Amino acid sequence: MKKFNLAALAVVAMLGSSAPAMAAEEDGLEMATQGSLMVTRMGGIGAGLVIGTPVAITKQVGKTYVNYTQAAADKVGGKLGGKDNGPVCAVVSLVTLPAALVVGGAKGTYYGTKNGVCNGFNTPFHPDSYSLGNLEE
């Protein structure tokens, strides 16, 4: 029995003496914390890319379509009322819709990927990683 108690006392003494040294070293604790968050961060990046990129594309295509249609209607039908004239906007939208799909799709892919990777890593599963906030900063 004495050997068991002495062995247990020796283990407790060794653990007790090494614990303050580990706790005092903040770099080791910070590195362990960051390492344990890596799985969550990779999941945040994946979810941000899968969900956030289509959201960003949809937002950018709509925004680009409205901007292009209004600008083209002002240039083409400025004398007829420009962007305030419905028929002018309808005619101009035949040209601006394909352009908005291409340009907005490219911009949305860029912003969605950027938000998914950057915000998904720094703040996993935050609405900004899903491109629900402002796209352009």
Give the whole-angstrom CA distance, residue 85 versus residue 68.
15
Query: Domain-by-domain residue ranges, the chain?
Result: 1-36, 40-137
Confidence at 29, pLDDT banded by 50, 70, 90: confident
Report pLDDT for 14. Answer: 53
Other Cβ atoms closer than 10 A to 64: 22
Report pLDDT for 32. Answer: 76
Report pLDDT for 1. Answer: 46
Task: For residue 72, give every residue at least 6 positions away whose Cβ sits within 8 Å of its Cβ, in sequence order, or none.
Answer: 92, 95, 96
Q: What's the pLDDT tens digit per position in 102-133?
A: 999 999 999 999 999 998 888 888 888 888 88
Confidence at 31, pLDDT banded by 50, 70, 90: confident
**Mean pLDDT, the chain, whole residue set:** 81
Nearest to 115 by CA among 44, 20, 66: 44
Mean pLDDT of 88-107: 93
HEC string for 1-53? CHHHHHHHHHHHHHHHHHHHHHHHCHHHHHHHHHHHCHHHHHHHHHHHHHHHH
Report pLDDT for 65. Answer: 95
